[in-house]
Chain A
Amino acid sequence: MNRFYVMLGTLAVAFCGLLIYLLKTNPAAPRAATEAPVAVLDDGFRGDTLGSNAAPVEIAEYSDFECPYCANFATIQMPTIKDQLIATGKVRWRYRDFPLPGHKYSRYAAHAAQCAGEQGKFWEMHDQLFYHHSWAQTGRNPTSMFRDFARAAGLDLARYDACMESGRFASRIEVSRREGEQRLVDGTPTFFVNGVKFTGPRPTSDAFKAIVDSLTARRK
Chain B
Amino acid sequence: MTRHRQTIAVLALLGWFVALYLWLHALGVGGELKCGTGGCDTVQTSRWAEFLGVPVAFYGVVGYAAILAVALMGLQPAWLERRGPTVLLAALATGGVLFSGWLTYLEVFIIQAICRWCVTSAAIMTVLWGVAVHEWAVGRTHPRPTA
CB distance from A30 to the nearest CB of B (A): 13
Which residues of B (64-114) have their CB < 8 Å from a CB of A?
A: 75, 113
Chain B residues in 8 Å Cβ range of A130: none
Tell me the complex Cα distance, A18–B34, Å.
12
Task: Let me know if A142 is at the binding interface, CB within 8 A.
Answer: yes
CB distance from A3 to the nearest CB of B (A): 10
Of B10, B34, B75, chain A has the most CB atoms within 10 Å of the CB of B34
The answer, among A4, A23, A145, for a CB contact under 8 Å with B38, is A145
Tell me the complex Cα distance, A16–B32, Å.
18
Task: Let me know if B50 is at the binding interface, CB within 8 A.
Answer: no
Tell me the complex Cα distance, A19–B17, Å.
7
Task: Let me know if A149 is at the binding interface, CB within 8 A.
Answer: yes
Chain B residues in 8 Å Cβ range of A142: 41
CB distance from A201 to the nearest CB of B (A): 30
Which residues of A (133-180) have their CB < 8 Å from a CB of B?
A: 134-135, 137-149, 151
Stretch at the interface among B23-31, B52-60, B124-132, B139-147: B23-31
Given A8-B9, A12-B13, A135-B45, A146 and B31 contact (CB-CB distance below 8 Å): no
Chain A residues in 8 Å Cβ range of B6: 4
CB distance from A199 to the nearest CB of B (A): 35
Given A142-B41, A143-B32, A144-B32, A11 and B10 contact (CB-CB distance below 8 Å): yes
Task: Name the CB-closest residue of B to A152.
Answer: B38
Given A15-B13, A26-B32, A141-B32, A147 and B45 contact (CB-CB distance below 8 Å): no
By the criterion CB–CB under 8 Å, are A144 and B35 in contact? yes
Chain A residues in 8 Å Cβ range of B40: 144
Chain A residues in 8 Å Cβ range of B20: 19
Which residues of A (6-47) have their CB < 8 Å from a CB of B?
A: 7-8, 11-12, 15-16, 18-19, 22-27
Task: Let me know if B120 is at the binding interface, CB within 8 A.
Answer: no
The answer, among A1, A22, A138, for a CB contact under 8 Å with B21, is A22
9 additional A-B pairs beyond A147-B37, A148-B39, beta carbons within 8 Å, are: A8-B10, A19-B17, A26-B32, A140-B45, A141-B31, A142-B41, A144-B37, A147-B38, A148-B42
* Chain A interface residues (CB < 8 Å from chain B): 1, 4, 7-8, 11-12, 15-16, 18-19, 22-27, 132, 134-135, 137-149, 151
* Chain B interface residues (CB < 8 Å from chain A): 2, 6, 9-10, 13-14, 17, 20-21, 24, 28-35, 37-42, 45-46, 75, 113
The 4 tightest CB contacts between A and B, nearest first, are A148-B38, A23-B30, A26-B31, A134-B45
